[in-house]
Structure 1
């Protein structure tokens, strides 16, 4: 029994039921800073709205913009909180395999074949830019996936989603998506480490990322399973929250009493030294 999909953006047109009729395209043009309620229905969006979502989200990823949409596809501003996991580059394929085990069952999209740098292949139950076409990561330093992940339900999750018991799987988890994953094979901090950055799709989901111990446990657990050295939560503030470091949970910030800047944090990773690190925040574009 799988958890029910909680959708923040629409599925692609190929996945829509044929009976879904287009909704009104006369959407209001004013933008508001507050994110509306997430939709539980995939048929709340017109074909034009789906096209707008997909086109604009791809543009957002390309230029690192802060773009979100209301139910009519109107652009609004929102929060982009994210968890980022750092690990040796050779561990990425294994981490993606562990992530695939956290996907809802039965799988809701066709399998996606990924070719890793070096030629290894892995199949995941997600899409890349809302498509299931094979992706060749050996030709790019970055991979983008649209994921849905099973999370345990705690009070913080219930605060942001009206969870029904019928939506829970046998482990008491619920599917939440989309969660946008960006894999960087050569992140700014060090060329021998890679990173997986999981970004919330909406402001409401961002706040849940920050407050839910269950959400944090999934990402720190994935850090352990994937052989990661560090997991941080970025809340778009002046500090990063460190959740996991070198094999144990931790509650520190950068900057903070222990780490005055990111190079100080990176210097604690295996195989690092201060000369190799750069004074960039995790997740920042090179």
Structure 2
């Protein structure tokens, strides 16, 4: 093999190994807290995807003969008031929590990012109108707003996602708008405008890649908040409806039998706490990795 081909392979390997995504991932794994949080989140995702294969029992199968059994070899986390296996319902509740969190956060991201881009590049009058709308939505009391929608349309997962989208979108709107206002006067943006780039091209090609870091951190921080919203509304009976498994619904049902079978509420509460902590630590680690002032992590 010639020296030229060897040199080309070396340069190619360096480009792959030294890609920004690969470097970011390696710095994230170097952060012990971030790596542990990422591992826990990966386990949650796998449990949600393969729930039918992992769950030992049907999560909605009722067996009155085995109601409120304590944890044992047959039912590792015991059974609830209807004789349903608690572990199976926890696993399927993971699927429900992540589905609501990802759907609600994704919808809020699309709406907030789109309006933020428009607001940051729009004339002053349109920017002021969008900021007013965003601040008004941000000021809405979440629980009362959710209860109002539920009273009109009835409790469902769709209404839950709509509530989450409306409550979370203003946060993404503010972050994207502020970043666009900072970057739109940069030299490369002015040069792109002088070359005839449209506002859409400016936003997607030049601005979006430079604001994706703060957005990823915000997503990681918002997912536990969304899971908390879903669990809280389900606890109140206004979120995910039985017999579908939900951590909040299980917590509410376990609370009613707290003296007779405390394992039901405990088994439902622990995943909520651990998931919230894991996503919060992951968001903090991701922020440290993506913040250039920390040089990829705290020194």
TM-score normalised by the chain length of structure 2: 0.19
Larger Rg: 2
Q: Hey, which of these two has a bigger chunk of helix by percent?
A: 2
The structure showing larger relative contact order (alpha-carbon pairs under 8 Å, at least 6 residues apart) is 2
Q: Hey, which of these two has a bigger chunk of strand by percent?
A: 1
